[in-house]
Amino acid sequence: MNKAGQNSYMIAPGIPPADNIHVVLGSEPGRHHLSPAFRGRPSETFFTDILLQELDSSKDFVEVMGEVRSVAGEATKGVQHPACYHVGELCFGLADTNDGSPQAMEERLFHIQLAVSVLRSIEGLSSVAEMLTPKMVAKDRSSRWEFHAYEEKFLDFSGDMLGDQAVVALSTLIQPCCCSSGRWMCSPNAQGINLSANNLTDKGACALASALAPHRNLSRDWTFPSQISSLQLHQNYISDEGCAAVLGVLAPKQNSNGSWVFNSSMRHLRLCSSICNNQLREKTAAALLAVLAVHEGPDGKAVFNNSLTEIELDGNTFSSEAREQIQTALDKLNSARAMQSAVTALRSVGMDSKMSEFVHHRSQGSEKENVEAHMKTAMNNLRKGKDRLALKMTW
C-alpha cells in the first residue's frame, strides 16, 4: 500500500506464520517520540511480524494509533492463535484513548510487547526480560534503580519448548540487584513464572535456582530478595539434581546470631510430572526435608516456613524410608503452624493472656467460653486446610 504523500505500512517480508506478533516502530521519525530508554534499543528487540516502516512525526498520536490499530487488525485477521486475539484487542483499544501523550503511546506499545510475550522464541523472551529488568539510572549526582511496572505479574511461557536457554533469557529479570546501601532489590514484574513443558533439564533448573538464591546483606545476614510467589516447572526433564536445587531455594538460612530467615514470597511450587520420573529422588527428599524443618529460634520458640501453601511433587519417586521421614516432618510443620494460628487468633482479640488461665482451668464463665470459641475457630481453619502446607506427592 504505497501511496504518494502518505506513509507506507507493510507486513515484514519473509517472516514465519503470524504466531509471534509484535508492533514495531521501525523508523527514526517514529522512534524519537519514545523515551530514551526505548529509543536506544535497536529495532531488532521490538519486532516480529508487523513493521511500521515509516511514521510521520507530524501526526498526532491518536491518528497514529488508529493506523497501528488498522495494520495490526489486518495482520491478525484469520490467524488462529490466542496471542493474535490478545494483540488485536489491545490494538483496537489504542485509538480510543483520551491521552495522546508520548508516554501513553509508549505505555500502550509496551503492553502490546508483553501481551504477545506468548512469544514462542528465545529472542522474544529475552526482549521481554530486558524490558522488565530494573535499570540503574543516574540522577542529580546519585543513582537509583528504576522499575518499569507492568500490570500482568504472571509470566506464562508454558509449552514453548524453549529449553534451558529460557532460564538464561529470564535470568536478568529474576536476579536481584544490589543497591549502594547493600540492600537487595528485586523486580516487582515477576511474581509468577510458568516454564512447564519447556524441555528444561537439570542445567536449566540449577540456573534458575542460582538466580533465585538468597544473598547476604552488608551486615552479613541472609535475605531472600524475591517476589516470586508461584513457580511452575512440571512436565520437563528435571531429575533429582535439578529438583533438589530448586527446593534448595526455599530452605531456611541461619544467621550468625542464631536467627533463621525463610523465603517469605513463595506460595506455590510445582515440580510434578517430570518426564524423568523413574528415578529415586534421594537429593530431592533431603532438600524437601530441609524446607519442612521446624527450627528453634534464639528465644527458644519454634520457627518455620509459614508462607508456603502448596508443593506439588507428583510423579517423583521416593524410597519408603524417605516417604516416612517426609510425612513425619510435614506433620510436625503443620502442627507448629496450627499452634501459631491458634495463638494468633487469640492474640488478635487480646485473649493470649488468658491462655494459661484456660489451660490451668482457672478461667470461668464467659471468659472461658470466649477462649474456647477462638480456639475452635483456629482448629476449624486448620481442618479446612487454611493453615496447612499441602504436599502433593506419590505416597
The torsion region of residue 12 among left (phi > 0), alpha (psi -120 to 50) and beta comes to beta
The overall average pLDDT reported for the chain is 67
Which domains does the chain carry? Answer: 1-116 (no CATH), 122-134+145-318 (3.80.10.10)
Closest CA to 180 of 148, 214, 145: 145
CA angle, corner 369, sides to 365 and 371, nearest 5? 120
- At 273 the three-state DSSP class reads coil
Q: Please, are residues 41 and 126 in contact by the beta-carbon 8 Å criterion?
A: no
Highest mean predicted confidence (pLDDT) among 64-78, 164-178, 239-253? 239-253
- Asked if pLDDT for residue 6 goes beyond 50, the answer is no
- Asked if pLDDT for residue 138 goes beyond 80, the answer is no
- Asked if pLDDT for residue 256 goes beyond 80, the answer is yes
Q: What is the pTM of this model?
A: 0.63
Closest CA to 263 of 285, 230, 236, 241: 230
Highest mean predicted confidence (pLDDT) among 82-91, 155-164, 241-250? 241-250
Stretch (H or E) spanning 125: helix 122-132
Give the pLDDT confidence score for residue 323 in this predicted structure. Answer: 93
Give the pLDDT confidence score for residue 374 in this predicted structure. Answer: 61
Q: Please, are residues 266 and 226 in contact by the beta-carbon 8 Å criterion?
A: yes
Give the pLDDT confidence score for residue 382 in this predicted structure. Answer: 54
Give the pLDDT confidence score for residue 388 in this predicted structure. Answer: 80
Give the pLDDT confidence score for residue 287 in this predicted structure. Answer: 95
Give the pLDDT confidence score for residue 372 in this predicted structure. Answer: 63
**What's the sign of the alpha-carbon dihedral 155, 159, 162, 167?**
positive
Q: Please, are residues 114 and 152 in contact by the beta-carbon 8 Å criterion?
A: yes
Give the pLDDT confidence score for residue 316 in this predicted structure. Answer: 83
Q: Given pLDDT bands bounded at 50, 70 and 90, which one contains residue 69?
A: very low
Per-residue pLDDT tens over the stretch 188-247:
667 888 899 888 999 999 999 998 888 888 788 888 878 888 999 998 999 999 999 999
- Contacts of 34 by beta carbon, 8 Å cutoff, 6+ apart: 25, 102, 105, 106, 109
Nearest 5°: phi and psi at 146?
Answer: -115, 140
Q: Please, are residues 305 and 349 in contact by the beta-carbon 8 Å criterion?
A: no
Give the pLDDT confidence score for residue 183 in this predicted structure. Answer: 73
Q: Which residue has the higher pLDDT, 137 or 261?
A: 261
- Asked if pLDDT for residue 254 goes beyond 80, the answer is yes
Q: Which residue has the higher pLDDT, 3 or 281?
A: 281
Per-residue pLDDT tens over the stretch 325-371:
999 999 999 988 888 877 776 666 555 555 445 444 444 455 556 65
Q: Which residue has the higher pLDDT, 220 or 382?
A: 220
Nearest 5°: phi and psi at 263?
Answer: -75, 110
Q: Please, are residues 329 and 287 in contact by the beta-carbon 8 Å criterion?
A: no
Query: Strand pairing of 184-185 and 177-178?
Result: antiparallel
